[in-house]
């Protein structure tokens, strides 16, 4: 009987300790609301390669590459600056971007074709086809980048909307893996 009482008391203490834990700083409901707010804003700011190129030539425009540093160093849009998506914080963004009004252009791997080494397509193909599900799910970094920039208060963001060849001269690339004269 004493053993049962002690076991129950220990269980009660453990249960109350677990329920007294501080919840994480993850708020999925707030994220869903943000995504719903971002959707129409983003839709109006998807730009084709010509518009992306003309915007990139304007004064005080930032081309932001949020892929890994290794991929950025190897090959990126000429003039782009780097901030790995996993390093997004309010302070990091404020240190990199002069103001909330700065025009920011974004792109990701899924905008470039014919270079799976440095611009690998972000997608998932289920191993077994199922007619009730997507056959392929693209997981482009553009979307979380756009959502997070918007969430941090940056509203002057434009996203490249096209898939283009790395050989397309309308966008110039630079980096350690770009052949000279490319």
The partner residues of 92 in beta bridges, in order of sequence, read none
Cα 68 to chain centroid distance, Å, stands at 11
Output the average pLDDT for the chain.
91
pLDDT of residue 12: 60
Is residue 30 one of the residues assigned to a domain?
no
Model confidence pLDDT, tens digit, residues 144-155: 999 999 999 999
End-to-end CA distance of the chain: 82
Structural domain boundaries, residue 74: 38-174
Other Cβ atoms within 10 Å of 90 Cβ, number: 10
Is residue 135 one of the residues assigned to a domain?
yes
Cα 156 to Cα 122: distance, rounded to the nearest angstrom: 25
Q: For residues 89 and 139, is the Cβ–Cβ distance under 8 A? A: no
Its sign, for the CA torsion 109, 142, 54, 59, is negative
CATH of the domain at 124: 3.40.250.10
pLDDT at residue 168 is higher than 50:
yes
| pLDDT band, very low/low/confident/very high, at 6 (cuts 50, 70, 90) | very low
Question: Shortest CA distance to 114 belongs to which of 75, 140, 141, 143?
Answer: 75
**Number of domains within the chain:** 1
Any idea how long the chain is?
Answer: 182
Model confidence pLDDT, tens digit, residues 109-156: 999 999 999 999 999 888 887 777 767 888 899 999 999 999 999 999
Is residue 90 one of the residues assigned to a domain?
yes
């Amino acid at each position: 009987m004493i053993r049962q009482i002690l076991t129950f008391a220990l269980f009660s203490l453990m249960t109350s300790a677990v329920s007294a834990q501080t919840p994480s700083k993850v708020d999925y409901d707030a994220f869903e609301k943000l995504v719903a707010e971002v959707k129409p804003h983003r839709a109006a700011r998807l730009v084709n390669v010509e518009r992306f190129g003309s915007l990139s030539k304007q004064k005080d425009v930032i081309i932001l590459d949020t892929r890994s540093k290794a991929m950025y160093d190897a090959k990126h849009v000429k003039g782009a600056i780097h901030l790995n998506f996993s390093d997004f914080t309010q302070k990091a963004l404020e240190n990199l971007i002069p103001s909330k009004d700065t025009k920011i252009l974004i792109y990701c791997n899924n905008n470039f074709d014919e270079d799976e080494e440095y611009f690998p397509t972000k997608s998932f193909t289920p191993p077994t086809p199922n007619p009730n599900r997507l056959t392929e799910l693209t997981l482009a970094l553009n979307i979380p980048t756009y959502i997070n920039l918007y969430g941090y208060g940056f509203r002057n963001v434009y996203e490249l909307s096209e898939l283009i060849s790395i050989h397309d001269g309308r966008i110039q690339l630079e980096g350690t893996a770009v052949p000279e004269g490319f």
